[in-house]
């Protein structure tokens, strides 16, 4: 029913109310009831209208579809129906339920075991009236929690960003008028008009099309736009085969169309991706798991100390409460409150270094996760390739072959004649020139600002003409007629005549070889047309198959005075080629134990061609289709996917399935992608990496990292950075724990053995500042070692406190304790402790600390290999600490505070020599390890 009908209905109702007093009793009420029943009936009909799945809608005739959706194809929906349907189906948008308030997200940061342990130690410090310790610990916790919260809050917008891809406006037929509406206002049954450049506003079943080409690469991974029809399909395959359906968020490249809305908002194909993303949780990073584990280890260590001190005190007959207080104080001192700060600062510096390399990292711990990454699953279109169709090969009808350099639509590159590698321009080779001329004339594409308006395939032919300096040749012709391309005839032709010349008309044709060759009776040989023989046709067919099997899309070109008497000109091979630097990146990653896998919606031949081109698995490729994936059981899939390097004809669900299977097999998976179809996989992967320029908003927000310049090779830098960060954290942990164990052991031994304390409270505080301060913090900013990328990926089960690190910690602690106790014994007169005794012991411990920090700069390399001056912050920190120690010893006001006295030059030289022993022993062990234990070359770690 149109708007006029409803207006009349409402007018009648008003009239009945107005004229009721002039009518016989009861007659008005009866008619009123009749109209109310009619209205209720319409409302009930509207309630019965449901969204149609694409696989059902594609099989319906447009008349049946209009009946099912209760819409008039000539006038569209009336406003009354629109309102009723909106009540049922909602707006054409995605609602993100953000039920968790900001304050709760902030408080969630405190759930980290290490943070909870630090808060417990701050509480104990308050109870024991150590207020300075409590304040410093609380400040450390607040800094760490706030920095982590700001980073993570900014990155939790993935679902909201889906709205950005929903186009804001569209052309819709309602009440017989074409209206310009917001896309969010669409409801099922609306009739939408599409034209070039439009983003499809909802899932539509097409009812009219004119040469309609739609770019579905963000969904399917197909670089080539899809030909769309309005005919009924007999069978429904996957979404790539539904030629009479267009999906929300895809782009109209060419032609125009008209369709009925069959799905809006979350009920669209786009909505399926939305629901999958909503259900998907971002996995915890290996570093987060490591920090949780370290927090628990330190908690157990702390309770162990408290228990041991209380047991010894009880055996010695001391008061239990006083022993408990001492034990708790020691445990608090043992907890490295600087660790969360160092981890955060180290990660932030890593993020800043990555930003300089044009990589944006959205979640701090993700930087370190890259060090564990042993599998990279990459989307093909727009990631490994530029998503710019490019002519790479030419074969003329008289046997000349040429290859083409340069990628995309910039016109940069050259055409080389094979095998001589002669650069061709214009008609320097007549046969190649005529082939390129035909491709340029039978063409509707325009290239502006290095981007194509029209079909990408036609854009590739224009770019080829630009490289041959023939881009303006179409201007010498006047087009009289065009026979457009259709999926049935598989060719396009134009009828032209030369400007300002009374010559006969000439046809130019391009299309599939098997179709074009049927219209040819001649072939070109250096500008002369010769009769086309069956032998010549067989040669061309063989060449076409050879080019097709190498992943090229092959177009045949011809020209002549009549469609049945054309001259065959040759074949053009087009492909979306790999990006620059991808092959080198894949090689380096493979050598370092990282397996690269390609996941694409494209066909097998194209995927294999690109895979061989970029050197996947050194050319030993194993491919698997999405259909084959569906047939495998979960257990079988996990063991199979490890050995497959190319997955073709895949959907978003397949991508998710592959990543989950690899994760179950123990792999740490990175996923790179740029389309809507990659969003779910990007979020579920351990590391999601999106393209900054070609990437959709959805993919960028679902990812943890963004490659600003779409340069796949920067993934190598990111992995190198990730490995380096973990080593820096280990270096810091080694230094801090060896120092804290040494300080604890000195105080514990003196307490247990009833000896005088070798260090007073202020001296312990000074040592704590060095332990948590600049020298320790500067270990976290050690530049990444150049050989790091060559190291195999770290196993996710590797803990920060590995066995070898624990041994090195205890070795350093034993040397520091032994040296300090030796000085304490040597300088302790029989009369009792003097200021000289504590000064010598205190300075000895600080010097040990500084030498220990020097050797902790690397776990495997000697100081001469990494260089003294590479980490300038470390040098300034150590120099500052050394000058600070001299100030404590020699400046009178500080001598009173720290209870120290002047030391002679020989004393300082003796302490320096003794303290350097921790450095010498550690460097000697590194040397022995290098000589005796050759590094094992592994292919990554799959637990």
Q: Would you name the residues annotated as active-site residues?
A: 379
The C-alpha angle 615, 620, 624, rounded to 5 degrees, equals 100
Task: Report the C-alpha gap between 212 and 218 in whole angstroms.
Answer: 18
Task: Report the C-alpha gap between 803 and 179 in whole angstroms.
Answer: 72
Residue 904's CB is within 10 A of a number of other CB atoms, namely: 8
Task: Report the C-alpha gap between 328 and 322 in whole angstroms.
Answer: 10
Q: Assess contact for 792 and 941: CB atoms under 8 A.
A: yes
Going from the C-alpha of 620 to that of each of 589, 597, 615, 670, 941, the distances in angstroms are 16, 12, 9, 22, 21
Q: At what angle do helices 320-334 and 113-127 cross, to 10 degrees?
A: 140
The burial class, CB within 10 Å (0-12 / 13-18 / 19+), for 833 is middle
Residue 538's CB is within 10 A of a number of other CB atoms, namely: 10
Q: Assess contact for 363 and 798: CB atoms under 8 A.
A: no
3 state SS of 625: strand
User: How many residues does this entry show for the chain?
Assistant: 943
Task: Report the C-alpha gap between 718 and 724 in whole angstroms.
Answer: 10
Task: Report the C-alpha gap between 883 and 902 in whole angstroms.
Answer: 14
What is the distance, to the nearest Å, from the Cα of residue 89 to the centroid of all Cα atoms in its chain? 33
Helices (H), 208-268: 217-220
Closest CA to 571 of 395, 391, 393: 395
Looking at the DSSP assignment, which residues form a beta bridge with residue 174? 77, 177
Looking at the DSSP assignment, which residues form a beta bridge with residue 396? 570
Q: SS3 string of 376-417?
A: EEEEHHHHHECCCCEEEEEEECCCCEEEECCCCCCCCCCEEE
Q: Which helix (H) or strand (E) holds 263?
A: strand 251-263
Closest CA to 385 of 59, 634, 157, 675: 675
Relative to beta strand 528-531, strand 477-483 is unpaired
Strands (E), 115-202: 169-174, 177-182, 191-194
Give the burial string for 725-746 (b: 16+ CB within 10 Å, else e).
Answer: bbbbbbbbbbbbbbbbbbbbbb
DSSP designation for 230: -
What is the distance, to the nearest Å, from the Cα of residue 405 to the centroid of all Cα atoms in its chain? 29
Helices (H), 615-647: 626-631, 634-641
What is the distance, to the nearest Å, from the Cα of residue 189 to the centroid of all Cα atoms in its chain? 37
Q: SS3 string of 843-886?
A: HHHHHHHHHHHHHCCCCCCCHHHHCCCCCHHHHHHHHHHHHHHH
Task: Report the C-alpha gap between 574 and 443 in whole angstroms.
Answer: 15
Task: Report the C-alpha gap between 115 and 148 in whole angstroms.
Answer: 12
Task: Report the C-alpha gap between 815 and 326 in whole angstroms.
Answer: 25
Those residues with Cβ within 8 angstroms of residue 539's Cβ, 6 or more apart along the chain or in another chain: none
Q: Assess contact for 885 and 774: CB atoms under 8 A.
A: no
3 state SS of 239: helix
Residue 261's CB is within 10 A of a number of other CB atoms, namely: 29
How would you classify residue 220: left for phi > 0, otherwise alpha for psi between -120 and 50, otherwise beta? Answer: alpha
Task: Report the C-alpha gap between 372 and 592 in whole angstroms.
Answer: 12
DSSP designation for 128: T
């Amino acid at each position: 029913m149109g708007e006029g009908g409803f207006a009349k209905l409402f007018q009648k109702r008003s009239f009945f109310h107005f004229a009721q007093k002039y009518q016989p009793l009861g007659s008005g009420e009866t008619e009123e009831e009749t109209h109310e029943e009619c209205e209720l009936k319409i409302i009930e009909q509207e309630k019965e209208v449901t969204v149609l799945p694409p696989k059902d809608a594609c099989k319906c005739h447009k008349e049946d579809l209009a009946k099912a959706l209760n819409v008039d194809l000539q006038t569209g929906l009336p406003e009354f129906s629109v309102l009723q349907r909106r009540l049922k189906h909602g707006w054409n948008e995605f609602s993100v339920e953000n039920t968790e308030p900001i304050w709760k997200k902030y408080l969630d940061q405190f759930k980290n075991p290490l943070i909870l342990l630090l808060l417990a130690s701050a509480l104990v410090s308050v109870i024991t009236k150590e207020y300075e310790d409590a304040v410093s610990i609380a400040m450390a916790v607040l800094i760490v929690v706030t920095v982590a919260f700001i980073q993570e809050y900014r990155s939790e917008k993935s679902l909201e960003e889906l709205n950005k891809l929903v186009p804001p406006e569209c052309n819709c037929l309602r009440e017989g008028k074409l209206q310009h509406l917001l896309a969010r206002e669409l409801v099922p049954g609306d009739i939408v008009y599409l034209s070039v450049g439009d983003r499809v506003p909802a899932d539509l079943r097409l009812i009219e099309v004119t040469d309609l080409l739609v770019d579905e690469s963000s969904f399917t991974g197909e670089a080539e736009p899809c030909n769309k029809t309005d005919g009924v399909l007999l069978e429904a395959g996957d979404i790539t085969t539904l030629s009479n359906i267009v999906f929300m968020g895809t782009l109209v490249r060419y032609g125009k169309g008209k369709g009925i809305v069959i799905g809006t908002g979350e009920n669209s194909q786009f909505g399926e991706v939305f629901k999958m993303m909503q259900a998907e949780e971002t996995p915890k990073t290996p570093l987060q798991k490591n920090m949780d584990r370290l927090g628990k280890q330190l908690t157990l260590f702390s309770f162990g100390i408290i228990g041991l001190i209380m047991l010894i005190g009880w055996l010695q007959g001391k008061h239990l409460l006083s022993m408990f207080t001492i034990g708790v104080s020691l445990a608090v001192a043992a907890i490295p409150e600087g660790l969360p700060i160092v981890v955060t600062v180290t990660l932030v510096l890593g993020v800043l270094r990555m930003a300089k390399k044009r990589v944006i990292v959205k979640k701090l711990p993700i930087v370190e996760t890259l060090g564990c990454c042993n599998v990279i699953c990459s989307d093909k279109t727009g990631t490994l390739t530029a998503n710019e169709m490019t002519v790479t090969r030419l074969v003329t009808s008289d046997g000349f072959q040429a290859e083409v350099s340069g990628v995309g639509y910039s016109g940069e590159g050259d055409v080389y004649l094979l095998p001589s590698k002669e650069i061709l321009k214009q008609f320097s080779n007549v046969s190649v020139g005529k082939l390129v001329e035909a491709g340029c004339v039978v063409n509707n594409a325009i290239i502006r600002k290095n981007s194509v308006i029209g079909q990408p395939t036609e854009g590739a032919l224009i770019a080829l003409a630009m490289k041959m300096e023939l881009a303006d040749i179409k201007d010498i012709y006047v087009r009289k007629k065009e026979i457009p391309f259709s999926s049935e005839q598989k060719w396009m032709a134009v009828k032209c005549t030369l400007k300002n010349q009374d010559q006969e008309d000439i046809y130019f044709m391009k299309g599939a070889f098997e179709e074009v060759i049927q219209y040819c009776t001649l072939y070109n040989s250096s500008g002369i047309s010769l009769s086309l023989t069956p032998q010549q046709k067989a040669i061309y067919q063989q060449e076409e198959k050879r080019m097709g099997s190498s992943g090229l899309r092959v177009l045949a070109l011809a020209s002549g005075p009549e469609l049945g008497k054309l001259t065959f000109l040759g074949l053009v091979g087009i492909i979306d080629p790999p990006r620059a630097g991808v092959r080198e990146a894949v090689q380096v990653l493979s050598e370092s134990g990282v397996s690269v896998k390609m996941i694409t919606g494209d066909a097998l031949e194209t995927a294999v061609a690109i895979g061989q081109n970029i050197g996947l698995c050194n050319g030993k490729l194993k491919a698997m289709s999405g259909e084959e994936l569906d047939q495998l059981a979960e257990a079988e899939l996990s063991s199979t996917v490890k050995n497959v390097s190319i997955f073709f004809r895949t959907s978003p669900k397949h991508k998710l399935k592959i990543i989950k299977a690899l994760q179950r097999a123990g792999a740490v998976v990175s996923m790179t992608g740029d389309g809507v179809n990659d969003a779910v996989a990007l979020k579920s992967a351990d590391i999601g990496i999106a393209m900054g320029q070609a990437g959709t908003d959805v993919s960028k927000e679902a990812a943890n990292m963004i490659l600003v310049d779409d340069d796949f090779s920067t993934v190598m830098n990111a992995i190198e950075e990730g490995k380096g960060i973990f080593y820096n954290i280990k270096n810091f942990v080694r230094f801090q724990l060896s120092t804290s164990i040494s300080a604890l052991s000195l105080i514990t031994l003196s307490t247990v053995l009833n000896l005088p304390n070798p260090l007073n409270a202020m001296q312990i505080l000074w040592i704590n500042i060095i332990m948590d301060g600049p020298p320790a913090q500067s270990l976290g900013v050690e530049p990444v070692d150049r050989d790091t990328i060559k190291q195999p990926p770290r196993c996710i089960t590797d803990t920060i406190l590995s066995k070898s690190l624990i041994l090195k910690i205890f070795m350093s602690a034993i040397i520091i304790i032994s040296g300090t106790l030796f000085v304490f014994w040597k300088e302790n007169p029989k009369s009792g402790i003097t200021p000289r005794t504590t000064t010598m012991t205190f300075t000895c411990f600080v010097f040990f600390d500084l030498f220990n920090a020097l050797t902790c700069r690397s776990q495997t390399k000697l100081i001469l290999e990494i260089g003294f001056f590479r980490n300038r912050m470390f040098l300034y920190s150590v120099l500052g600490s050394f000058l600070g120690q001299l100030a404590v010893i020699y400046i009178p006001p500080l001598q009173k505070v720290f209870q120290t006295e002047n030391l002679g030059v020989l004393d300082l030289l003796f302490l320096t020599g003794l303290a350097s022993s921790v450095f010498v022993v550690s460097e000697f062990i590194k040397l022995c390890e290098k000589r005796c234990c050759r590094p094992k070359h592994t292919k990554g770690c799959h637990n």
